[in-house]
Amino acid sequence: MDLVKVLVVDDESRMRKLVHDFLAKQGYTVLEAEDGEKAIDVFFDEMNKDISLVILDVMMPKLDGWQVVKEIRQYSKVPIIMLTAKSEERDELMGFDLGVDEYISKPFSPKILVARVEAILRRANSTLDETIEVGGIILDHQAHSVKIDGAAIDLSVKEFELLEYFVTNKGIALSREKILNNVWNYDYYGDARTIDTHVKKLRSKMGEKGDYIKTIWGMGYKFEV
């Protein structure tokens, strides 16, 4: 794991050190940036083309987190975890709309952050070669790509994993807790609203096929064609 690079961007040196230390203990190579402009410089430096994940604060000087995400997403689909003191749904939706894969509100448990990092990287680097076809949807696990009626749709890492979980559990009622434990792959004790936010975005991107994701009120969701 010592070759896996993670870029940590936060204007608070204490926060950077906290995240750095926990990730370094797990064997990750950690790069740091104290503001948005520095983050862009580090990410696009020729020596850092192999950055595997970005952990990014929202409120920063020079360029804020949203601007950094926009810049990175023009050229890369590297997984991005946003750190923020805000927890409003509109802020989460904005982040997911820009292509953010995870959204963690401060204060948070460093152990949970590490678990999310490991889950994202494990899934992003999965070598499983499998193509699933159902109801006009073609899902290619290895390529992390989805086509609906022959047209490619652009999904974030987490949106892809959520759709894949729904498709592979077609016809099964899935509770929010079960979805969190399998898609996010960690023990989640926070607000399950994050699932609803992802489902809303996923349905929108799927167009008419979004109706395949049925809401089971008071429980969760079920994928039915």
Spell out the domains of the chain, with CATH numbers in brackets. Answer: 5-124 (3.40.50.2300), 131-223 (1.10.10.10)
Q: Cα dist. 220→20, 52, 173, 174, 191 in Å?
A: 35, 31, 7, 6, 13
CA distance linking residue 66 with residue 82, whole number of Å = 9
* Closest of 211, 202, 213, 201 to residue 93, by C-alpha: 201
Tokens found for residue 80:
């991005």
Eight-class DSSP state of 85? S
Phi, psi at 61, each rounded to 5°: -75, 165
Helix (H) or strand (E) holding 174: strand 174-175
Phi, psi at 72, each rounded to 5°: -65, -40
Per-residue pLDDT of the chain (225 residues; tens, 9 = 90+): 446 899 999 999 999 999 999 999 888 899 999 999 999 999 998 777 789 999 999 888 888 888 999 999 888 888 899 887 765 556 666 666 777 888 887 888 888 888 888 878 876 665 444 788 899 999 988 778 899 999 999 998 889 989 999 998 888 888 887 888 778 765 455 557 788 999 999 999 999 999 999 999 988 999 998
